[in-house]
Chain A
Amino acid sequence: MEIYWQLFCAFFRIGGLTFGGGLAQLPMLKFELVQKYHWLDEPELLDIYAIGQCTPGIIAINTATYVGYKKAGVPGGIVATIGMVTPSLVIITLVAAALQSVIDNVWVQHAIMGIRGVVCALMLNTVLTMGKKSLKSKFAVAVAIPALIAAFFFNVTTLVIVIFAAVFGIIWHVALHDGKMTAAKEAAGSGDGGAGNAGGDERKGGNA
């Protein structure tokens, strides 16, 4: 029973005390999982992080599930995940409710118009920093351009584009180049490109 409580508490703290997610959480994950509880060693943590990036879903959640599962099976994975989501649930609900009750106030409106400008700047910066990481090879650029056109001009849904890209990537690297993945390795090496702390904070590695 104790392991479940520990898993819950460890991931509750990670969820409640880190901003951004993904790589920004790595120092906190290291502290809780490697140094405090000795559930993992550092290379294992990086492996888990890599798996979290290569699977759909929120990277932090994937990490929580993986660690929980390794320590205490499926219930462990569930408990760790619940620990991770609880702080968000509470904090977001409180902030959203507070915002809703003052949104018509004229000063709040001034503040929101300012916030919008900064949100745009932060997101444009994320696109820029992610682009630098994700578009290193000619192959990556050759994938990004048609994806950009499909999403922008033809409103092709995200899922369809991702599926096409996945199939194309497999055909290109496995069938045509027989698993010789120079470009793929390069892309995998810059792995965090697929995610970016919307703040695009390079010190943290800009991951979410």
Chain B
Amino acid sequence: MNTWMLVFLEFMKIGAVAVGGGPATLPYLMELTEKYDWYTMEDLTNMIAVSESTPGPLGLNMATYAGYKTLGFFGGVVSTAGLVIPSIIIICLIAKFLENFNENKYVVGAFSAIRPAVWAIIAVSVYRVCAVSLFRLTDGVYIPIPKTMILCAVVFALLQVKRLQKYHPAIWLLIAVIVGIVFRF
């Protein structure tokens, strides 16, 4: 199967099964790095940063970026199309046939367990992104990158301050750019 078809199908799969919006697509995007050489785990951090600091839904931006990375502009078109087609089908069917879908006891029951499970999966994915972002793999040994780690710890601590939570992620990323350049990370 050619790459175009594969990109389309893989993203269609993500659109059909990723429950929980943007962050929920992260584990699936990570699985693609293991399966194909379309982009790397390091690329994934850039993808997250760009997707967070540009307009548009996070999950959509990440999928577009992943498609772009793989096959250029039209790759982005194909991955986006793949991602949204299941939504269009599923939502149109629900809108047509299912009244009170979100109050159905099977749906409520299923989602009561899906939510914590999805949280767990996202937590593991985030751990893995952090591992490749904060450590450098040299000769099979993970060596910490001290400056990046310190910045991460400081920003994480600041994010726990209620007053600072209102700032947009793009502001933190802008600070990251300045700190990175000034202190030559």
Contacts and interface: CB of A to CB of B under 8 A. Distances in A.
B102 interface: yes
Contacts of B183: 110, 114
A127 B126 contact: yes
B114 A194 contact: yes
Contacts of A62: 87, 90-91
Of the four ranges (under 10, 10 to 19, 20 to 34, 35 or more), the interface on chain B belongs to 35 or more
Given A57-B90, A88-B80, A120 B22 contact: no
Given A95-B54, A195-B21, A118 B175 contact: yes
Most buried by A among B19, B56, B102, B156: B56
A187 B55 contact: no
Contacts, number: 435
A113 B160 CA distance: 22
A41 to B, nearest CB: 17
A115 interface: yes
Nearest to A65: B91
Interface in A155-173: 157-159, 161-162, 164-170, 172-173
Given A57-B86, A123-B126, A135-B119, A165 B113 contact: yes
Nearest to B19: A56
Interface of B: 15-25, 27-28, 31, 45-46, 48-61, 64-65, 68-69, 73, 76-77, 80, 83-84, 86-88, 90-92, 94-96, 101-102, 105-124, 126-127, 129-130, 133-134, 145, 147-156, 159-160, 165-166, 168-170, 172-173, 175-181, 183-185
Interface of A: 15-22, 25, 47, 50-62, 65-66, 69-70, 74, 77-78, 81, 84-85, 87-89, 91-93, 95-97, 99, 107, 110-127, 130-131, 134-135, 139-141, 143-145, 147-148, 151-152, 157-159, 161-162, 164-170, 172-174, 179, 181, 183-188, 190-191, 193-203, 207-208
